[in-house]
Amino acid sequence: MKSDTSGRLVPVGRADMARAGLVRALLLAGAAMLPVGARAQSMDYGALEQVFGEPVTTAATGSPQRASLAPANIVIITQDDIRRSGADNIPDILATIPGLDVRRASLSGADVGIRGYNQQSNPRTLVLLNGRPVYDDFYGAVFWNGFPVQLDEIRQIEVVKGPASALFGFNAATGVVNIVTFNPLYDKVTAVSVRSGTQSLVGASAVGTVNQPGVWGLRLSAGGMRANDFTPPASTTENIHPTVGTLNGLGTYKLPDGLEITLEAGLSKNDTWSDGASPLGFDIRGNDVRVAASDATVIGQTNVQFYRNETHEEVLVGSDETNDVYDLQARDLLKLGTDHVVRINLEWKDNSAYSRSFFHGTAGYNDYAASLMWNWQVVDTVSVTNAIRVDRLGLNYTGAGLPAFGITQSIIDSTSLTGYSFNSGVVWQVTPDDTLRLTAGRGLQLPSLFGFAANLDVAPHTYDIGTPALLPTAVTSIELGYDRGIAALLSTLHASVFAERNDDLIAGGLGGVPVVSPVGFALSAANVGHSDTLGFEIGLKGAAPFGLTWNVWWASQAITDHIHNNAPDNQQTDYTSSTPHNVYFAGLGYHHDKLEVDANIRWQSTYQDFGGPNVLSPRMFLIDNFYTLNGRIAYEVYPHTTLAVSAAQLLNSQVIETLGPPVDRRVIVSLSYKL
């Protein structure tokens, strides 16, 4: 089975296999003219979707391919999926994907984990927006609401499950969320949307594109929202009204000689709660710029990209920090014969943060990295991909340090580490309807700047301190995946089993290791042990010609921790207890003429959350199993104009997902115009 661009499933026959082989040959023959990796934006996704009859990805190899044939477990969320989910934010969209754990502790704050190991300010999931990381290096977290992107301008969201650092870099430890927007060089998107709902929500967004297809294109987008947050706990007197405003522009120009230049810039402002039992108000302001050039040269398809991220974060208890990231990458995609594609990547990153409260100075690092990927099409039905990456990182610091705890500027400046990661995959298309995929990988979760060099006065004679010698957490996995087209059910079956090993788990902040000195007591970041994971995912997704769609899945995993004896009890690395063992999901939709109706229900088993109102006495708190029923009804009232009503938690006024405030039921009414 395969799906067409509208999401319907159609049978695959021998003729389709022959056609697919021809398409593969044509694509490999022109591989030197293709963009480099998921980070480039110069591919005409729409044209390739017409060729393949379904969405395609370049995330794993740099060449376009069906997700089922990629040497990694990749799920593609299409623009249709985004619209019909009824969600107004990316985390709620991701909750429909097997293996993803989404926890919400405020209206605008959520944590997303891939295959367990979720926690407050989860540092293990790398998020990319058109190839630019939107990962917060200071805290090692993702502030999901502050992305300068509107849902209407997203072509697809690619979810890569499993460690992928050799393909994407540091912090792709358990997976990657790669957000790909429409390319203004080929796609013309115009959309305006307004919405209102419970929690006094008001919001609006607009996207506009002008272009001369294949020559130049410019897209501008803007959006914002304001609401009342869920009821805060009694432990805080803050009453934050989550407020978001973003502006983004993306322009691409292709010269007659083939050189393509892209410029992207964005601004964002995000007033939000942090997650946790004692939420803190954050005022987060960001600005970013990305410049890329791509051209076919005598050595292949060369791509150079530079980006700068600046984030200023002010905590509404008086502390603030500014994080600056500069990154330069050079890549080359080489076609060697008709069956071999090699990708070479060099990268330099300068990452620094100033904070008077958290560092008493400036802390940062320089990272130099090199990676190599080789994709070999052994025969028409078998491909092998191998990738390796080496990072060399050196810390730097300017400030007072913590001499009483043995941490000085010279110690930090002399600290460095070398990290190794790899990804390997074998894909065998056994029959037109059956595909097997065996993958293995090693990913790295880099400690945050706070983990490396924190110098925070928590209370009189009480500190939260970093550890310059902290090691990255290394995640090693092996996975067997199987995709089966079932013509009789108009469906595709997806199944996988996996095992993971996490070495050098990092505990910090509330879960740090106690340290005592003459000046007082401290909680210090530390590597505290390892853990093992076994799990599986199985799902069935399909569509009927008369407009009915369905999606059901079950994800299960068990984690066993092995924590050092000197680590404190009930600290944040208790993943055995803090990961739900089972999650079930069922979705059903119907589309006819101008009407769309969709509903889904999600149930997950019991787990524990970590935190507490007293930072010196954190605790584990049982979160009982819960379910959420979500729905959306939409009708095209005028050409290109749709009125929609969506609701989350239809059967529950409140659901407790963390130690933070209960998550309230939400109802949103929206009116949108889209060409």
pLDDT in tens, 168-194: 888 888 999 999 999 999 999 999 999
> Residue 21: its pLDDT value, please?
45
> Please, which pLDDT band fits residue 51 given cuts at 50, 70 and 90?
confident
Cα separation, 103 vs 115, in Å, equals 13
59-63, 503-507, 632-636: which range is least confident on average?
A: 59-63
Cα separation, 87 vs 92, in Å, equals 6
pTM metric for this prediction: 0.89
> In residues, how long is the chain?
675
> Please, which pLDDT band fits residue 615 given cuts at 50, 70 and 90?
low
64-73, 97-106, 146-155, 315-324: which range is least confident on average?
A: 315-324
Over residues 232-275, the pLDDT tens digits come to 655 444 556 889 999 999 999 999 888 999 999 999 998 876 55
> Residue 24: its pLDDT value, please?
42
Number of structural domains found in the chain: 1
- 508: Cα separation from own chain's centroid: 22
91 phi and psi angles, rounded to 5 deg:
-55, -40
Q: Which of the pair, 236 or 643, is modelled with greater confidence?
A: 643
Cα separation, 105 vs 667, in Å, equals 18
5-14, 121-130, 503-512: which range is least confident on average?
A: 5-14
Over residues 97-126, the pLDDT tens digits come to 999 999 887 888 888 989 888 877 778 888
> Residue 56: its pLDDT value, please?
85
Helix (H, G, I), strand (E, B) or coil at 440: strand
Of 631, 495, 482, 490, the C-alpha closest to 549 is 490
**pLDDT(42) > 70:** no
32 phi and psi angles, rounded to 5 deg:
-65, -15
Nearest 10 degrees: Cα torsion 471, 473, 478, 481: -150
> Residue 521: its pLDDT value, please?
80
617 contacts: CB under 8 Å, gap ≥ 6 = none
For residues 230 and 661, the answer to whether their CB atoms sit within 8 Å is: yes
> Please, which pLDDT band fits residue 13 given cuts at 50, 70 and 90?
very low
Query: Residue 189 carries which side chain, given as an amino acid letter?
Result: V
**pLDDT(12) > 70:** no
Mean pLDDT of 570-579: 76
Query: Residue 226 carries which side chain, given as an amino acid letter?
Result: R
Range of the domain at 478: 2-674
End-to-end CA distance of the chain: 30
Nearest 10 degrees: Cα torsion 5, 11, 13, 16: 0
Cα separation, 387 vs 371, in Å, equals 7
> Residue 207: its pLDDT value, please?
97
> Residue 129: its pLDDT value, please?
92
Mean pLDDT of 40-66: 76
> Residue 277: its pLDDT value, please?
44
Residue 557 DSSP code = E
416-437 burial code (b ≥16 CB/10 A, e <16): ebebebbbbbbbbbeebbebeb
> Please, which pLDDT band fits residue 614 given cuts at 50, 70 and 90?
low
Mean pLDDT of 486-510: 90
Helix (H, G, I), strand (E, B) or coil at 654: strand
> Residue 568: its pLDDT value, please?
57
- 300: Cα separation from own chain's centroid: 30
Q: Which of the pair, 276 or 433, is modelled with greater confidence?
A: 433
**pLDDT(29) > 50:** no
Q: Give the residues across from 308 on adjacent strands.
A: 289, 326
**pLDDT(622) > 60:** yes
> Please, which pLDDT band fits residue 152 given cuts at 50, 70 and 90?
very high
Check which CATH number belongs to the domain holding 306 and give it.
2.40.170.20
Of 362, 552, 541, 517, the C-alpha closest to 455 is 362
Which tokens go with 658? 């963390």
**pLDDT(32) > 60:** no
Q: Do the strands 319-336 and 416-431 form a parallel or antiparallel pair, or are they unpaired?
A: unpaired
Over residues 190-228, the pLDDT tens digits come to 999 999 999 999 999 999 999 999 999 999 999 999 998
For residues 190 and 674, the answer to whether their CB atoms sit within 8 Å is: yes
Mean pLDDT of 472-490: 95
> Please, which pLDDT band fits residue 570 given cuts at 50, 70 and 90?
very low
Of 560, 508, 504, the C-alpha closest to 531 is 560
Q: How many CB atoms lie within 10 A of CB 389?
A: 26
> Residue 438: its pLDDT value, please?
97
Cα separation, 602 vs 539, in Å, equals 13
Mean pLDDT of 645-654: 93
394-408, 602-616, 642-656: which range is least confident on average?
A: 602-616
CA distances from 222 to 29, 107, 147, 266, 457 (A): 40, 20, 11, 10, 39
**pLDDT(451) > 70:** yes
- Percent pLDDT > 90 in the chain is 55
81-90, 234-243, 516-525, 594-603: which range is least confident on average?
A: 234-243
> Residue 28: its pLDDT value, please?
39
> Residue 6: its pLDDT value, please?
39
Over residues 318-363, the pLDDT tens digits come to 567 889 999 999 999 998 888 999 999 999 999 999 888 788 889 9
